[in-house]
Chain A
Amino acid sequence: MTGPPRPGNELDALLRAVARGDSAAFAAVYDLTASRVYGLVVRVLRDPGYSEETTQEVYLEVWRTAGQYDSGKGSALAWLLTMAHRRAVDRVRAEEAGSRRESRYGAASAEPACDVVAESAIAGEERRRVGECMGTLTDAQRQCIQLAYYDGLTYSEVSQRLNANLSTIKSRMRDALRNLRNCLDVP
């Protein structure tokens, strides 16, 4: 495999060490996950400066709350990225609580709906595989993921934006995630 190393169960053990105040373990957690965390935050915020601030806040939260991570409820990577995504989306929603929101959505809509696929083709086996799986979704499903996950819209906002009713949007999201999960072989 030529892609970036995929952090696995070792993250669980590292987080337990971080919870005990082990700074070397903290460094290892950072090194294993920073490109994924920063990349996701940049994808949502689209601003390197804000993204650095938010990424640092995410790791401060990891440092503070590593003891709360429960491996029985999911992987360490999912725990960390959920935290990163939440902070990035909170920031987007706070920044754009005013009129700027509309213009940003306008800009986002000008992008091709399949930019997830295009960007993922850059490098790496794993990256390529995610791109292929995104490619198996319908355009409508992919658009839902783009708007709801990467642009930080709520599903009600997605439904208004696409002029589709709420149950249609919820179905698309559910189908998109099921297809993606199956394709990526996520347990």
Chain B
Amino acid sequence: MTEPTESELLDLAVPYALYAVSAGERADIERRAAGAPRDLAAAFEEQVRAVRETMAAASSATAVEPPAQLRTATLAAARFRGKRQLGWRTAALVSAAAALLVGAVAFGVGLLMRPHPPAAVAAQVLAAPDVRTVSRPLANGTATVVFSRDRNAGVLVMNNVPPPAPGTVYQMWLLGAKGPTSAGTMGAAAVAPSTTATLNDLGSSNALAFTVEPGTGSPRPTGTILAELPLS
């Protein structure tokens, strides 16, 4: 049955190159291409290459200038790496966290601050193949979570978020099927040079939410949810 399989593989080169196949089909096509005779594999590769070059040429038709702050945030990652002699992965992570911190107004990160820098966790998260970024407005600023399900961890970065009112804290909650679980608090008092925090156990949660809570925090959320960042 070599013949039909061969023509079928070439038949799928265009949908494959357009990423218009399901994940299962994609794995199957890649497996078949890897096991194909050299000539067939070369013909398949050439078709895939041609489609990708064609769509790259066509991308001038959809080009749109991105917002300037995206450049600032993205490039700060590379700049930061040059200042520290860190391993590649750590540097990439730390620099990305730094990028998100541009323009940050520091306020205290209380219970969430670990005694050690979050670089190790952050490095793992940013180096993870499934790394994702979610941002939502919080007060007058922005809360951003860079997270990885594979690593079961995330890095929280707060930009321009005003401190909570005196006598209150921001409290973070991981929302899941079992209800909200506290992920720590941030008070105005503990002013720190950075407003990053690590989330070391995302578990089965599907979102990170923020409330304002009295005193040093609550066992269960009592305030309204100010922001909710989906973790899916």
Contact = CB atoms under 8 A, between A and B. Distances in A.
On whether the two chains bind one another, the answer is yes
Contacts of B127: 64
B62 interface: yes
Contacts, number: 183
Nearest to A149: B18
A6 B60 contact: yes
B177 interface: no
Given A56-B70, A74-B52, A173-B14, A155 B61 contact: no
A96 interface: no
A183 B131 CA distance: 38
Interface residues of B, number: 53
Interface in B132-165: 132-135
Contact of A63 (B19, B67, B92): B92
B63 A57 contact: no
Majority-rule SS of B interface residues: helix
A124 B60 contact: yes
A36 B50 contact: no
Given A43-B62, A63-B92, A89-B19, A56 B74 contact: yes
A52 B50 contact: no
A186 B61 contact: no
B179 interface: no
Contacts of B14: 170, 173-174, 177
Given A57-B131, A60-B77, A187-B53, A3 B92 contact: no
B70 A184 contact: no
B15 A155 contact: yes
B81 A170 contact: no
Contacts of B11: 167, 170, 174
Q: Which of the four size classes fits the interface of chain A?
A: 35 or more
A36 B63 contact: yes
Q: Which of A21, A124, A149, A177 has the most CB of B within 10 A?
A: A177
B61 A134 contact: yes
A26 B95 CA distance: 13
A187 to B, nearest CB: 7
A56 to B, nearest CB: 5
Given A23-B78, A60-B96, A148-B18, A52 B56 contact: no
Contacts of B59: 36, 39-40, 77, 81
A23 B75 contact: yes
A134 B55 CA distance: 11
Interface string B13-56: 01100111110010000000000000000000100011111111
Contacts of B45: 73
B22 A156 contact: yes
Given A49-B135, A181-B50, A127 B61 contact: yes
Interface of B: 11-12, 14-15, 18-22, 25, 45, 49-67, 70-71, 73-75, 77-79, 81-82, 88-89, 91-92, 96, 126-127, 131-135, 232
